[in-house]
Amino acid sequence: MTDDQINAAIAEVCGRRRNPNGGWYPDNGFKVGTQGIPNYCADLNAMHQAEWSLPDDQLWRMARNIECNDEQWYFRATARQRAEAFLRTLGKWEDAG
C-alpha cells in the first residue's frame, strides 16, 4: 500500500468519511466542508491517536505485528511501521500486486 492509501484506510477506521467533492469531511461530525487527514505514516502523534481506537487485545496484536529489527521493537517503531501493523491487525492491509 502507498502512504496515501494507508492514511486513507486508517482515517476511515478512525471514523473519518470521504467528501464526494474530494477530500474528507471535517472530524467535527458535520458533513460540510473539506479537511485533510493526518499523515499517519509520518506522524507518531497521529498514530498514537489511532492506536487509542483499539481495544487492549487488538493493541497487543498490533504490537506483535510490528516488524522491527530491535529487541525494543514497539517503542522504537516508526510511524510507518505502526501504521502497517495497525492495518494488518484489523485485516485492512492490502498487499501490492
- Inter-residue contact 19 to 27 (CB < 8 Å): no
- Tell me the pLDDT tens digit for each residue of 19-55: 887 788 877 766 777 788 999 999 999 999 999 999 9
For residue 66, name the pLDDT band (cuts at 50, 70, 90). Answer: confident
DSSP string, 15-60: T--B-TTSSB--TTS---S-B----TTT-HHHHHHHHTTS-HHHHH
Closest CA to 28 of 20, 38, 43, 16: 16
pTM of the model: 0.85
pLDDT of residue 21: 78
pLDDT of residue 97: 62
Phi/psi at 45 (nearest 5 deg)?
-65, -40
Domain ranges of the chain: 3-89
pLDDT of residue 60: 86
